Amino acid sequence: MNDETEHLDSISPFYARGDHMDELSTDRQIELIRQYPRYGNPWKNKVVLEVGCGNGYSTERLCKIFQDYEVIEPSGQNIKLLEQRVPGLVIHNVLLEEFIPKHQYDYIFFLNIIEHVLDPVACLKILAGLIKDAGLIFISSPNGMSLNRRAGLLMGLLDSYETLAPKDHLVRHRRLYTVQLLRDHCEQAGLKVMGMKGIYLKPLSERQMVDLGEPVIKAFHLLGEEIPEYCATIMAVAVRR
């Protein structure tokens, strides 16, 4: 086991516990993914790759849309969690940087992974080589300039937009993104961003939002779609240039 795999295994206890707010965000990301068909029948007979599975929550739901589904997951602990949810999947137990593909893919999902990796541009370059000419790559990340973080900066709770919050440290985030930084990294990797969506316009802290109730939280997930600069999570939809 190398240092990076050990790093990823160390996050697995968080995934095993699960996080309802993260699950709501994932649900919204999948709703947005459904808005991006590129073919006559966008979901049939398509070869799909998900990079990083966490506890398998996203995989379990995406597998209901796509049939030919593969996962890259270097953490053996996360693979155990995934197999409890979705047995029988094709799982490549390697780092993305070590993956040797047999074919290219119609869709690639890189959901809330880019903030964890050592070299994000290098990873995006690999994905650019794995996607078909007409394929789509979905890349999501926490937003360092979300509305609640902008307020936190003005209140003196953050030193800068790059400051990691306690939850970021808990799940071993190496960086936070902004809309512009995500665009820049995609461009540097040979990708063209076709769309940028926002997920969860969060005006208050997570604890305060939870106190308002799930219907309010779900409404604010919808409100931010067209203003990603202010949302808690941003998602780029990219193609190979």
Q: What is the pLDDT of residue 37?
A: 66
- Provide the Cα torsion 25, 26, 31, 36; round to 10°: 110
What are the tens digits of pLDDT across the range 29-71?
999 998 886 544 566 778 999 999 999 999 999 999 988 999 9
What are the tens digits of pLDDT across the range 113-154?
999 999 999 999 999 999 999 899 999 999 999 999 999 999
Q: What is the pLDDT of residue 225?
A: 93
Residue span of the structural domain in which 228 resides: 3-240
Distances in Å between the Cα of 208 and the Cα atoms of 37, 124, 188, 190 are 36, 35, 38, 40
Average pLDDT in the chain: 91
CB of 237 closer than 8 Å to CB of 36: yes
What are the tens digits of pLDDT across the range 98-124?
999 999 999 999 999 999 999 999 999
CA distance 121 to 73: 19
Three-class DSSP category at 139 = strand
Domains in the chain, number: 1
Of residues 206 and 151, which shows the higher confidence score? Answer: 151
Q: What is the pLDDT of residue 231?
A: 97
Q: What is the pLDDT of residue 167?
A: 87
Q: What is the CATH number of the domain that holds 101?
A: 3.40.50.150
